[in-house]
Chains A and B, each alone.
Chain A
Amino acid sequence: MQLTGAQALIKSLEREGVDTIFGLPGGAILPVYDPILDSSIRHILVRHEQGAGHMAEGYALATGKPGVAMVTSGPGATNIVTPIGNAHMDSTPLIVITGQVATAAIGTDAFQECDITGITMGITKHNFLIQSAHEIPRVVASAFYLATTGRPGPVLIDLPKDISQSKMEWWYPETIAELDLPGYRPELPLNDDALALAVELISRSERPVLYVGGGTLKSRAAAELRAFAERTKMPVVTTLMARGAFPDSHDQHLGMPGMHGMYSAVTALQKSDLLISLGARFDDRVTGQLSSFAAGAKIIHVDIDRAEFNKVRFADVALQTNVATALRAFDEAEAMPQNLDVWWKEIRTWQERYPLVYDEPSADGPLRPQHVIEAIARSAAPGTIVTAGVGQHQMWASQHWQFEEPGTWVNSGGAGTMGFGVPAAIGAKVGRPDRTVWCIDGDGCFQMTAQELVTARSEGIPIKVAILNNAYLGMVRQWQEMFYEERYSEVYLSADLPDYVKWAEAMGCVGLRAHNLEEMHAVIAQANQINDVPVVIDFRTDSSEKVFPMVASGSSNDDIMVHPLLRGGAQ
C-alpha cells in the first residue's frame, strides 16, 4: 500500500492507539493536517501551541497514556518548548510532532525554519529529525516506546514538509527489535545483592519513612505501595509529584514533605533512620539545606534511572528498577522493620501539635483561599481531577485537597510552569471525560494561558476553573513580605483588571464571582450544576494570606515555620 509520509504519520499514530491530538496547523505541517480529516483520531484545535503541549501533558498525567501534540515549524515549534521542558522535568510521557521546512531548505534560514531538534536536545528524552518517509513508522513506534518505558519523558519528532509529501510503501514494526535502538535498555534485572542489603537495612530500622515520589505513579505502583505500607506499618509521605499515590485519608499518610509540606511529614523525614525513596529524586524543594536533610537516615534509593543515584544524596543501597518491582521484591523477601510503636507515638505528637490550619474567614470576605479549596473539595464528586498552575494556590491545593487515587492531581512540579493549570485541565478532561475536572488557579497563572478557554468551549470540554484572585503574584509577594522587608516589587496585578467574569463570558464560558462566604457557597453549587460548558469563578481572596508551613529557601528542614496560629509553643 502506497501512502504519503503524512498519511503514514497519521496511520502510525492510529497504530499506537492515539485517540487525541492537541495541535495547531501551519505551513510546514500542512500536509499532515489533510489525512487527519479521514482519521478516527480527534484533533483539538488550540489557540496557542503552549496550550497544546500542556493539554497533552494533562491528558498524560490523568490517563497514564502518552499525550500527543502537533504543531508547525519555527514559532509553532518554539512555542511548545516550555511544555516539552515541563514534561522533561516531571518525566511525563509526551509526543510532540513538529513540521519542518523541506529537507533542501534546512540550514538556509528558510521561512519559519528553526533547529528544533537542537533546541530541544537537552529537554527531551530523545528527538528525531526524519530523513525519509520510509522511516516514519519506525520513528513513531520508537518515540512511543521511548516516551513510555524506563523513565518516561517527552520525545519530539521533526518532520520536513517534503518528506510528509513524498511516497512510501506502508509497513509497521511489529517487534521492539525492529525499532533499532541498540543503546536503549529501559529495564535491567534486579540486583539480588542490593535487594538483600535493602531488606537488611529495613529489618534494622526503627524509624523508617516511605518517601514516595512521582516515579511511584509513573510505574503504577499505588497498589504495591499500599500493600507494603500496610504490612510494614511504615509512615508514608508523598511528594508534590506523587500526590494521589497513597490515599490522603489513610492514617499512615503524613502528607506532603518539603518547603510547604506538613510539619509531621517534614519532621518524620528529618528524624528518620531509614528513608526508602520510591521514584523520588531528593529535589531541593524537598530536602531544604542538603547537609542537614535527614542527617541520621540511611537511604534505600529505588529509581529506574541510575543517574539519580548519588546525584544529590548518597544512597546506602541503590536499586535500579521500577517502584512496583522493588516493592514486590521487598514483600517477597518479607522485609520488615522493627516495632514502630515508639516512632508512631512521636509522629502522632507532631500531627496533633502541628495540624494544617488557617485563619477563620470572616463572613463578609475577603475569602480565605484554603477555605475556598476545602469548600470546592467537599462538594466535588469522588475521583474529581484537580489541576493547578504554580504558586501559592498550587501549594494550598496540594495541602487542602484530599487525594485518594492516582491521576487525580495534575500539576507542574520540577519546572514550575505558571499557566499550566487551564490547558492541563482541558487535556485531563479530554482524557477522562467521565471525571469532573477542577483547575485551582491563581490570577497570575490564569492570565498566561486562559485563551484556551476558547478551545474548551468550542470543543465542548466543560472544565471548571477556580481563580483564587488575590490581585498579586502571590508567592513572589509572600517572599518579598518575608525576606525583602515588605518591599513589593512588580507583584501587584489588580483584582478587577481584567474582569474575569467578562473574560469567561467573552470566551463562551459561564463566569461567576464570589466576595464573601454566602456567595462562595452559592457559586460553587452553581458551578457544580453546569456540565455542558466551562465555568470560571473569580474568588476574591485575602492578598496577605501566606502559605504555611514553610521552610525558607536554603534553610534546614529543622527550621520549619508553622502557621502563626500554632506559634505559641515550640516555635
Chain B
Amino acid sequence: MSPEPFLGQSDPAPVRHHILSVLVENKAGVLARIAGLFARRGFNIYSLAVAPAEGNARFSRVTIVVDAQSAPLEQIVGQLDKLVNVVAITDLAPKDALERELLLATLPVNDDSRASVLDVAANTGASIVDVNAVSVTVMLAGTPGACDRLEKALEAFSDVALQRTGRVALPRLGQTANV
C-alpha cells in the first residue's frame, strides 16, 4: 500500500524556528510572565509545553518553539533572561535537537470509514488507543513533521477532535546547546 496519499510535504514550522528549553522557578504566574513578555515584545510563539523539570518540584521546564524571524533570537533570549524566575535558557537549533510531540485525535467512524481510518493510522505510525462502535481515538508520538503528516491526513475526515501537545526537545547526542 502506498503511503503517498497520506503524507504531507513539509514541516509548516518556519525554517528559522528555534527551540528554547527554559528552566523556570515553579511559581505562580511564571507562565503569564513568559507569555506576556512574548506578547508585548512582538515575539511569535509556535508552541509551548510545560512540565515539572527532572522530578524537581521547585522548577519547571518550558519548551518554547519561537519564530526567529519575528525578532532576533539574541533579543528573545536576552529579554527572557531578564525575567527573575527564569533560571536557565538552552537554545537548540533544529538540526541539533531531538524534537518530539504527541498528537491525539478522535474520529467518528462507521462500517464504511473504519478501514480508511485504520489505514491512515498504519501509514503514519499512529496507534489506536481507544475505540467503540462509533469512534476511534488515534495517537502519535513522533517528530513534529510526523504529527503534521498525520494531521494533514486526518483532514480527509470530518468532525475530527484533534489535540497536539507542542514539542519537547533535548540536544542530540554529541551536540551541545547554547546557554
Interface residues of A (CB under 8 A from B): 117-118, 121-122, 125-126, 129, 146, 181-184, 305-311
**Could you name 19 residue pairs across A and B whose Cβ atoms are closer than 8 Å?**
A118-B29, A121-B32, A122-B37, A122-B40, A126-B84, A129-B29, A146-B84, A183-B25, A183-B84, A183-B85, A183-B86, A183-B87, A305-B82, A306-B78, A307-B79, A307-B82, A308-B78, A309-B78, A311-B75
Asked whether, in the complex, the Cβ of B29 is within 8 Å of the Cβ of A183, the reply is no
Asked whether, in the complex, the Cβ of A181 is within 8 Å of the Cβ of B84, the reply is yes
Chain B's interface size range is 20 to 34
Name the distance in Å between A404's Cβ and chain B's nearest Cβ: 34
Q: Which of B25, B37, B83 makes the CB contact (< 8 A) with A182?
A: B25
Given known A121-B33, A181-B84, A307-B81, contact A129–B24 (CB-CB < 8 A)? no
A-B contact count (CB 8 A): 45
Measured in the bound complex, the distance between the Cα atoms of B74 and A126 in whole Å is 21
Asked whether, in the complex, the Cβ of B84 is within 8 Å of the Cβ of A310, the reply is no
Measured in the bound complex, the distance between the Cα atoms of B78 and A310 in whole Å is 10
Name the distance in Å between A186's Cβ and chain B's nearest Cβ: 10
In the complex, what residue of chain A is closest to B83 when comparing beta carbons?
A: A183
Measured in the bound complex, the distance between the Cα atoms of B78 and A181 in whole Å is 18
Contacts of B82 in A (CB 8 A): 125, 305, 307
| Chain B CB within 10 A, most for which of A122, A182, A310 | A182
In the complex, what residue of chain A is closest to B84 when comparing beta carbons?
A: A126
Measured in the bound complex, the distance between the Cα atoms of B25 and A126 in whole Å is 13
Q: Is B173 an interface residue (CB 8 A)?
A: no
Encode contact with A along B86-101: 1 for CB under 8 Å, 0 otherwise.
1110000000000000
In the complex, what residue of chain B is closest to A184 when comparing beta carbons?
A: B84
Measured in the bound complex, the distance between the Cα atoms of B82 and A305 in whole Å is 8
Given known A183-B25, A183-B86, contact A310–B81 (CB-CB < 8 A)? no
Given known A118-B32, A121-B32, contact A182–B87 (CB-CB < 8 A)? yes
Name the distance in Å between B51's Cβ and chain A's nearest Cβ: 18
Asked whether, in the complex, the Cβ of A117 is within 8 Å of the Cβ of B29, the reply is yes
Name the distance in Å between A23's Cβ and chain B's nearest Cβ: 25
Measured in the bound complex, the distance between the Cα atoms of B29 and A118 in whole Å is 8
- Nearest 8 CB-CB pairings of A with B: A307-B78, A183-B87, A126-B84, A306-B78, A183-B86, A307-B79, A182-B87, A122-B40
Measured in the bound complex, the distance between the Cα atoms of B87 and A182 in whole Å is 6
Contacts of A121 in B (CB 8 A): 29, 32-33, 36
Asked whether, in the complex, the Cβ of B74 is within 8 Å of the Cβ of A122, the reply is no
Contacts of B1 in A (CB 8 A): none
Asked whether, in the complex, the Cβ of A310 is within 8 Å of the Cβ of B72, the reply is yes
Measured in the bound complex, the distance between the Cα atoms of B82 and A181 in whole Å is 12
